[in-house]
Amino acid sequence: MVDLNNKVAIVTGSSSGIGKEIATKLAQRGARVVINSSKSESAGQEASKSIPNSKYFKADISNESDCRALIDFTVSEFGSLDILINNAGITRLIAHNDIGSADVSVWKEIFDVNVFGTWQMCSLAYKHLEETGDGNIINVSSIASLRPTGSSIPYATSKAAVNHMTKLLAKTLGPNIRVNAVAPGLIETPWTQDWEIAHQIVAGQAPLKRSGKPEDVACVVMGLIDSKYVTGEVILADGGWSLNS
- Which one of residues 34, 88, 94, 165 is an interface residue with ligand NAP (CB under 6 A)? 88
**What is the distance between the alpha carbons of residues 45 and 54, in angstroms, rounded to a whole number?**
10
Residue of the chain from 48, 62, 120, 180 that contacts ligand NAP (CB under 6 A): 62
CB 48 within 8 A of CB 56: yes
The yes or no reply on residue 39 touching ligand NAP (CB under 6 A) is yes
Contact 180, 145 (CB under 8 A): no
Interacting residue with ligand NAP among 133, 190, 204, 207 (CB under 6 A): 190
CA triple 161-154-208, angle to 5 deg: 75
Minimum CB separation of residue 209 from ligand NAP in Å reads 16
> Binding ligand NAP by CB under 6 A: which of 81, 140, 161, 220?
140
CB atoms within 10 A of CB 1: 8
Alpha helices in the chain (DSSP H): 17-28, 41-50, 64-78, 104-111, 118-131, 153-173, 196-205, 214-226, 241-244
CB of 170 to ligand NAP, least distance (A): 19
Residue among 179, 158, 150 nearest 238 (CA): 150
The only residue of 26, 184, 206, 236 in contact with ligand NAP, by rule CB under 6 A: 184
155 is annotated as an active-site residue: yes
- Our CA angle for 181, 64, 221, nearest 5°, is 20
Q: Is 145 in the site for ligand NAP (CB under 6 A)?
A: no
Q: What are phi and psi of 38, to 5 degrees?
A: -100, -25
Q: How far is the CB of 157 from ligand NAP (least distance, A)?
A: 13
Stretch that binds ligand NAP, among 72-80, 88-96, 97-105, 165-173 (CB under 6 A): 88-96
- Pick out residues in 92-131 that bind ligand NAP (CB under 6 A): 113, 117
Q: Find the shortest distance in angstroms from Cβ 212 to ligand NAP.
A: 7
Q: Which residues bind ligand NAP (CB under 6 A)?
A: 12-19, 36-40, 60-62, 87-90, 113, 117, 140, 142, 184, 186-187, 189-192
Q: Which residues are identified as catalytic?
A: 155
